[in-house]
Amino acid sequence: MTFELALRAPELTGAGHGRDDTANHRLAVVGLTASYGRSPAITEVSLSLESRSVTAFIGPSGCGKSTLLRTFNRLHEVTPGARVTGAVRLDGIDLYDPRVDPVTVRRRIGMVFQRPNPFPTLSIRDNVLAGIRLQYRRLRPSGADELVEAMLTAVGLWDEVKDCLGRPGISLSGGQQQRLCIARVIAVAPDVILMDEPCSSLDPVSTAAIEELMVNLGRDYTVVVVTHNLQQAARVSRKTAFFTVAGAGEPGRLVEYGDTAGLFSAPSKAQTADYLAGRFG
Amino acid sequence: MKPADTLLTPRPARERVRDASARSAVTVAGLIGLVALAGVAVFLGVEGWPGLTARTGLPLQAANFWALAWPLAFGSFWAAVLGLGLAVPVAIGVALAQTWYVPRWAGRFLGATFDILAAIPSVVYGLWGLMIIAPRLAPVYAWLGAHLSWCPLFAGPPSASGRTILTAALVLAVMVLPVMAALCREVFAQTPRTTVEAALALGATRWEVIRLAVWPTGKAGVVSGAMLGFGRAVGETMVTAMVISPAPFLVGFGLINSTNPNTIAAFIAQTFPESHGVEVATLLALGLVLFVITFVVNVVARRIVRATGGRV
């Protein structure tokens, strides 16, 4: 892989982290329905995500929460036959406006996946820099080193990998790989970070590390986490949305959305209470 | 039956027999391949030995075997390399188009069309090259000779008939294209979805997805496809025999002039009907040389893939 690495842009001085810390990026979903072919996976969702905080999406399998998440960075439409109606607004602009390029959307809304997916042929260092290089952002040579160190430090990986940055990203353990993937996302300083069950393939120790990271990221970023782990939602999120599905072939729906503490202690809908109590799903 | 009993009971005889026979069948198949390969090499070595050592009675009154073999080996190699050079980029492009660019139905249509190319006999390709392609390329060669003759590859005088090694390479390229395109298509279609999504989610365009995810994982398969193509091109007889008008003992890189090196396969086919004794042994020894070329190229290509690992 050959990308040019040339002069730096002014915003990449200092810690090499170009995020505008004054921005509060709000993501608002309006009447959104996402389908595969003719069958909607999730329908009529409207909610507004708080900036600089973690929002959790919970619900039984098949309720469409991951599908919903994938509409936020326009990754849903990559699947053949997938369709979206309604609107997702980032700072007031509809991401599905015909003038909006999905590639641009994905450069501002980062995603962490269920399975760690570092680029198999790239080194640890190049994995961190992959997004920057895709965006043709310019870095001075030492800027790249600074950025790699800052990002790997931010995800708590620096001390573990600082002596082997040239090794392939996939030589790391699963938990380390997932942290590398998070470093890759925050290196491009996105407005929003989406996480699709980021701990579901990890052991408890790695899960704890990623959860701590989520809490930290929530201070600076608008973070959305899809999770099957209710305790995780309770631990890391400020707000929680609960989705459910009536049965196979039915579309998922948003049941309840509110402060995590309130939703877990005193859910306003019986369905939510049943799910939290483990009576279904 | 108690659990302890089931642990001690042997599995049914039928199951064991089936397992054992599958194992021996597969082993035998593998051995047949090895024995056939070794058998061909031994046969060529033993029967060709008199030709390797002969000083007189060689075809074309060659002084010794290597004086005859070297230009022909060069011709085979050069024609195959030129053919691959033309075919590999097209095969990669076609495969990428089928897997990543055109709609699914169009990809299938394209694939089926290319598969038909593989079913055409090589003598038909030879005729096509000789009667259709060569005359149409002659003016192109004239132009190349007039404007690019400073480059040794295009040294003149350009062939008026168009029957040059470049024409042969072009026909070879069309011939080896289908198998290479099919192999590339398969490996590109098997790019891990997780890696593709990783690239997309970082804001990669389709081309960047190909560079970041598709190419690194598919590269080894492309090399395998190229090796299949090389094997077919280096041993191809009819096309080179029909298209090239060879000059004896010639070693030259010129692409467009009318003095072209011959290839081993074509030389064997052309010379065999009137050969006796030492001449036949010489032709068999030439076959051994061809065998060794293919073998060495294969080994080297695989080494390169392994050594470069992820990078190109």
CB-based contacts of A73, cutoff 8 Å, min separation 6:
A105, A106, A109, A110, A111, A194, B201
Out of A30-34, A109-113, A245-249, least confident range: A245-249
In a domain, B6, yes or no: no
Looking at residue B1, what is its pLDDT? 52
Per-residue pLDDT band for A26 (boundaries 50, 70, 90) equals confident
Phi, psi of A255 (to 5 degrees): -95, -50
Nearest Cα neighbor of B80 from B180, B229, B287, B284 is B229
Q: Do B203 and A134 touch (CB under 8 A)?
A: yes
B4: in domain = no
Q: Average pLDDT of B196-208? A: 94
| Domain A24-276, CATH number (from 2.40.320.10, 3.40.50.2300, 3.40.50.300, 1.20.81.30) | 3.40.50.300
CB B232 within 8 A of CB B225: no
Average pLDDT of the segment spanning B105-121: 88
Span B81-89, mean pLDDT? 95
pLDDT class of A3 with cuts at 50, 70, 90 = very low
Residues in A whose CB is inside 8 Å of some CB of B read 1, 73, 75, 78, 80, 103-108, 110-111, 113, 115, 117-122, 130-131, 134-135, 168, 181, 184-185, 188
pLDDT tens digits, B155-181: 878 888 999 999 999 999 999 999 899
- What's chain A's average pLDDT? 88
Query: What is d(CA A74, CA A95) in angstroms, rounded to the nearest whole number?
Result: 8
Coil, strand or helix at B307: helix
What is the pLDDT at residue A17? 44
pLDDT tens-place string over residues A50-86: 999 999 999 999 899 999 999 999 999 999 899 999 9
Contact A113 B201 (CB under 8 A): yes
Residue B2, domain member (yes or no): no
Query: pLDDT tens-digit profile of A200-218?
Result: 989 999 999 999 999 999 9
Instruction: Give the pLDDT score at B140.
Output: 93
The pLDDT > 70 percentage for chain A reads 91
- Note whether B203 contacts A131, CB cutoff 8 Å: yes
Distance from CA of B140 to the nearest CA of A (A): 36
Cα A101 from chain centroid (whole Å): 19
The pLDDT value given to residue A103 = 93
pLDDT of residue B4: 65
In a domain, B62, yes or no: yes
Inter-chain touch B202–A122, beta carbons under 8 Å: no
* pLDDT of the residue at A9: 32
Shortest Cα–Cα distance, B201 to chain A (Å): 5
Residue A10 pLDDT grade (very low, low, confident, very high; cuts 50, 70, 90): very low
- CATH code, B40: 1.10.3720.10
Is the predicted pLDDT of residue A280 greater than 50, yes or no? yes
Q: Count of CB atoms within 10 A of residue B134's CB?
A: 25
Nearest CA in chain A to B210: A1
* Beta-sheet pairing, A82-90 with A93-94: antiparallel
Mean pLDDT for the stretch of residues A110-114: 95
* Chain A residues close to B103, C-beta within 8 Å: none
Distance from CA of A247 to the nearest CA of B (A): 28
* Residue A262 structure tokens: 């309130």
Of A54-58, A175-179, B48-52, B300-304, give the lowest mean pLDDT range: B300-304
- The verdict on a CB contact (< 8 Å) between B310 and A73 is no
Is A130 within 8 Å of B202 when comparing Cβ atoms? yes
Condensed to tens digits (0 to 9), the pLDDT of residues B241-263 reads 999 988 888 888 888 888 899 99
Cβ of A118 within 8 Å of Cβ of B202? The answer is no
Instruction: Spell out the domain ranges in chain A.
Output: 24-276
Residues on chain A touching B189 (C-beta within 8 angstroms): none
Residues B216, A80: C-beta atoms closer than 8 Å: no
* Beta strands per DSSP E along B6-129: none
Report ipTM (2 d.p.): 0.87
- The partner residue sitting opposite B201, judged by closest CB among A104, A111, A121, is A111
pLDDT in tens, B213-237: 999 889 888 988 898 899 889 988 8
Position B49, amino acid: W
Considering CB atoms only, which of A78, A130, A181 is closest to B212? Answer: A130
In angstroms, the CA B156 to CA B133 distance is 20
pLDDT in tens, A150-162: 999 999 999 999 9
Q: Which of B200, B212, B216 sits opposite A75 (nearest CB)?
A: B200
Q: What is the pLDDT of residue B3?
A: 62
- pLDDT, tens digit, 9 for 90 and up, residues B1-59: 556 677 888 888 898 899 999 999 999 999 999 999 999 999 999 999 998 888 888 88
Counting the structural domains of chain B, the total is: 1
Q: What is the mean pLDDT of residues A163-184?
A: 94
In this predicted structure, which of A225-229, B80-84, B135-139, B295-299 has the lowest mean pLDDT?
A: B295-299
**Beta-carbon neighbour count of residue B193 at 10 Å?**
12
Domain that holds residue B214: 13-308
| Mean pLDDT for all residues in chain B | 90
If pLDDT is split at 50, 70 and 90, which confidence band does A248 have?
Answer: confident
pLDDT value of position B265: 93
